[in-house]
Amino acid sequence: MTPMTRPAPAEHGFCMPAEWAPHQATWISWPHNPETWPGCLEAAEDAMAQAVAALAGGETVRINVLDAAHETHVRGRLGPLADTPAVVFHHFPTNDAWCRDHGAIFVRNEAGDLAAVDCTFNAWGGKYLPWELDDAIAARMAESLGLARYEGGMVLEGGSIEVNGAGALLTTEQCLLNPNRNPELPRAEIERRLALLFGVREVLWLGEGIVGDDTDGHIDDITRFVAEDAVVTVVEPDSADPNHAPLAENLARLKTMRLAGERPLRIIELPMPAPLEREGERLPASYGNFYIGNEVVLLPVFGQQADARAARILAECFPARRIVPIRAESLVVGLGAFHCLTQQVPAGAS
């Protein structure tokens, strides 16, 4: 594993902004792997085309594609939007589409300068071969923007962390303490590295994620900051559902957490959709996997009664943004949704 670059980002005054801070762009890697979306790759592409259309009204959308032929294919899926300045293509081939996890994580300093954090990607603990192209993407993203790149020196996926932009970071024990990530790093060292990489002061630990999540409990399926002192967290009231107990434990932990100055978190409960399965396996469908754009919030929905309730809750959290519900059953066949498939590039100095 490559050692962490020293000085680290925080030692140069960089920190990771909250997702709702202004973006210059959203970056995605276009879905292309039929093994990830067996029998429904086209439907997954349809969902992402809707996402790009919604985002492009408020920010640039940068899209990693395999090559020129793949760009032509994606242009056909996007239609006239592909020929506008709002969409920029990069011939950066990937093994899969989960840009949140394999892409660069961008940080910013008070002057508005941006830099990129490049952590090691090992396909969620070595689950899916190959992953060499994915592991190379962060460096290519940083180079294309002309940004300084900091080696993270640890295995870390973007979907495993959640920041409020004011010094706090949420994560889960199931993921970051999993021996398939950084077995040589104890909790205290992981916390130290997170502070150095992302400019945070407090690391807040939840327990486990939801059933069917092959990422070993990513935070972006369960609990998300919606303000500096507020989170939405998914809950499952059905005590017979296997998600009930871990989500109840996470809720209890959140109630005991304190931010700087001993401020408690404001906690907003978000429903879980009814279980979705494919070939007898539970899929990780969650309304928590939304993505916050400059003008919109992309919300995965599943044709269920709870869709409207989730949309109302997020509309109250983000009154200045339009909630865009997009059917995501096809996406969760690939075991993720809109947050997993996006990575924000913060606005820099003008």
pLDDT digits (tens, 9 = 90+) for 154-170: 999 999 999 999 999 99
Distances in Å between the Cα of 69 and the Cα atoms of 74, 178, 348 are 9, 39, 32
Q: Is the pLDDT of residue 350 over 60?
A: no
What is the residue whose two structure tokens read 């820099």?
348
Topology of domain 9-346, CATH: L-arginine/glycine Amidinotransferase; Chain A (3.75.10)
Q: What is the pLDDT of residues 187-226, one digit of tens each?
A: 999 999 999 999 999 999 999 999 999 999 999 999 999 9
Q: Is the pLDDT of residue 2 over 80?
A: no
Distances in Å between the Cα of 307 and the Cα atoms of 10, 212, 275 are 39, 20, 13
| CA-wise closest residue to 137 among 126, 123, 128 | 123
CA pair distance 284, 290, nearest whole angstrom: 13
Q: How confident is the model at residue 1 (pLDDT cuts 50, 70, 90)?
A: low
pLDDT computed for residue 258 by the predictor: 96
Q: Number of H helices and number of E strands within the chain?
A: 10, 20
Q: 114-120 and 105-108: which strand pairing?
A: antiparallel
Select which of 40, 175, 317, 340 is catalytic.
340
| CA-wise closest residue to 99 among 31, 174, 181 | 31
pLDDT computed for residue 3 by the predictor: 74
Q: Is the pLDDT of residue 268 over 60?
A: yes
Distances in Å between the Cα of 90 and the Cα atoms of 29, 98, 138, 349 are 9, 15, 13, 23
CA pair distance 293, 190, nearest whole angstrom: 29
Q: Is the pLDDT of residue 324 over 60?
A: yes
Assess contact for 216 and 191: CB atoms under 8 A. no
Spell out where the chain has E strands: 23-29, 60-64, 87-90, 105-108, 114-120, 148-155, 162-163, 168-172, 202-206, 223-227, 230-235, 258-259, 263-264, 266-271, 277-278, 281-282, 291-292, 296-301, 322-327, 343-346
- For 18-104, where are the alpha helices, taking DSSP H only? 41-55, 68-78, 99-102
Q: What is the pLDDT of residues 283-316, one digit of tens each?
A: 999 999 999 999 999 999 999 999 999 999 999 9
Q: What integer best gives the mean pLDDT of the chain?
A: 97
Enter the DSSP assignment of 221.
G
Q: 296-301 and 291-292: which strand pairing?
A: antiparallel
What is the radius of gyration, based on Cα positions, of the chain? 19
- For 84-208, where are the alpha helices, taking DSSP H only? 99-102, 123-126, 132-145, 173-176, 187-198
CA pair distance 252, 208, nearest whole angstrom: 13
CA pair distance 169, 257, nearest whole angstrom: 12
pLDDT computed for residue 335 by the predictor: 97
CA pair distance 111, 113, nearest whole angstrom: 6
136's CB contacts (< 8 A; 6+ apart) are none
Q: What is the pLDDT of residues 224-247, one digit of tens each?
A: 999 999 999 999 999 999 999 999
Q: What is the pLDDT of residues 64-94, one digit of tens each?
A: 999 999 999 999 999 999 999 999 999 999 9
Pull the structure tokens for residue 146.
Answer: 């002309």
pLDDT computed for residue 224 by the predictor: 98
pLDDT computed for residue 348 by the predictor: 87
- Is 40 assigned a catalytic role? no
pLDDT computed for residue 5 by the predictor: 73
pLDDT computed for residue 331 by the predictor: 98
Indicate the domain borders of the chain: 9-346
Sequence length of the chain is: 350
| CA-wise closest residue to 184 among 153, 159, 221 | 153
